[in-house]
C-alpha cells in the first residue's frame, strides 16, 4: 500500500527554482569524512561533468538537477558528503548542455543508460528534480533493468509519459513541496497513484525545490529509501 508522509517545515519557504542553496563548506577541510572528486566522462559525444563521493562498491545514488541548477547544488547542499558518509556511492552530474557539460544528440533515456554504464554504476537509485524528469522517465521506462530506484521530485515531463507510468517497475518515492508554485502539489498524488506501489512524501510548506527548503528531512528520507531498495 502506498504510504503518504507529510513533513513539517524546518525553515521559511523560499521561491521556486530560483531559491539559492545554503553556503557550502569547503570540501578540502580535514573534518570531512569523504573526498568529493570532480571528473569528466564521455557519453554520446558529450563531455559530462560528475562529482563523485563514497566507496566505489557501495549502493549507488545518481543525482540529476533542475534547469537552474547543476551538480554543484548537491555539493553546496551537503548531499554528497552526507550520503557518502552514510555509506553510499553518490554521483552528481551536469546534464548535457548544463553546467560544465557539453551537449549530445542522444535521446534522453539512452543518454542516462550510457552514462550509468560509463560510470560503472550498478542499478543506481536516480533522483530527478524538475526538468530532469525529461531524462529520468524514459530511462526508468525503457532501461528499467539498469535502475535500482526512482525518486522524482516535482518532476517535469509527467504528461509526456502519462500513458506509460503504470509500466514503471522499479521502487519509486515521489517527493513534492506543498507550496510548489511551478508544478502544483495536486500532481503529486496523481503521479504516485499512477506508478505501481509508489510512495509519496510531501514537504509541508516547501516550494518547488523542496530539498533546498528542508535538506535534513530530504537526506533522511532519501537515505532510508535507498537502503530499502537493497
Which of the following is catalytic: 71, 101, 208, 213?
Answer: 208
Distance set, CA 201 to CA 2, 158, 173 (Å): 10, 17, 7
CB 96 within 8 A of CB 46: yes
CA–CA separation, 18 and 22 (whole Å): 13
Please say if 19 is a catalytic residue.
Answer: no
What is the SS3 assignment for 200? strand
Please say if 130 is a catalytic residue.
Answer: yes
Which of the following is catalytic: 65, 71, 101, 180?
Answer: 180
Q: Which of 71, 42, 196 is nearest to 132 (CA)?
A: 71
- As a three-state string, the secondary structure of 38-79 is EEEEEECCEEEEEEEECCCCCCEEEECCCCCCCHHHHHHHCH
CA–CA separation, 38 and 68 (whole Å): 20
Q: Phi/psi of residue 210, each to 5°?
A: -60, -30
Which of the following is catalytic: 130, 146, 161, 213?
Answer: 130
Please say if 208 is a catalytic residue.
Answer: yes
Which residues are annotated as catalytic? 130, 180, 208
Amino acid at each position: 500500500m502506498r504510504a503518504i508522509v507529510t513533513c513539517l517545515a524546518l525553515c521559511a519557504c523560499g521561491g521556486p527554482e530560483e531559491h539559492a542553496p545554503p553556503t557550502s563548506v569547503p570540501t578540502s577541510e580535514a573534518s570531512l569524512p569523504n573526498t568529493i572528486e570532480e571528473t569528466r566522462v564521455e557519453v554520446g559525444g558529450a563531455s559530462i561533468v560528475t562529482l563523485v563521493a563514497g566507496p566505489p562498491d557501495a549502493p549507488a545514488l545518481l543525482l540529476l538537477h533542475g534547469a537552474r541548477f547543476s551538480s554543484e547544488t548537491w555539493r553546496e547542499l551537503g548531499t554528497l558528503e552526507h550520503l557518502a558518509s552514510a555509506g553510499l556511492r553518490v554521483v552528481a552530474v551536469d546534464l548535457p548542455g548544463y553546467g560544465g557539460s557539453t551537449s549530445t544528440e542522444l535521446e534522453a533515456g539512452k543518454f542516462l543508460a550510457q552514462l550509468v554504464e560509463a560510470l560503472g554504476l550498478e542499478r543506481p537509485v536516480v533522483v530527478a528534480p524538475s526538468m530532469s524528469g525529461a531524462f529520468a522517465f524514459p530511462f526508468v521506462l525503457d532501461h528499467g533493468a539498469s535502475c535500482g530506484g526512482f525518486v522524482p521530485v516535482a518532476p517535469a515531463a509527467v504528461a509526456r509519459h502519462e500513458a506509460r507510468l503504470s509500466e514503471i517497475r522499479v521502487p519509486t518515492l515521489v517527493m513534492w513541496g506543498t507550496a510548489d508554485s511551478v508544478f502544483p502539489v495536486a500532481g503529486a498524488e496523481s503521479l504516485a497513484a499512477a506508478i505501481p506501489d509508489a510512495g509519496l512524501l510531501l514537504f509541508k510548506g516547501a516550494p518547488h525545490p523542496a530539498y533546498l527548503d528542508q535538506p535534513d528531512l530530504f537526506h533522511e528520507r532519501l537515505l532510508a529509501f535507498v537502503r530499502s531498495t537493497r
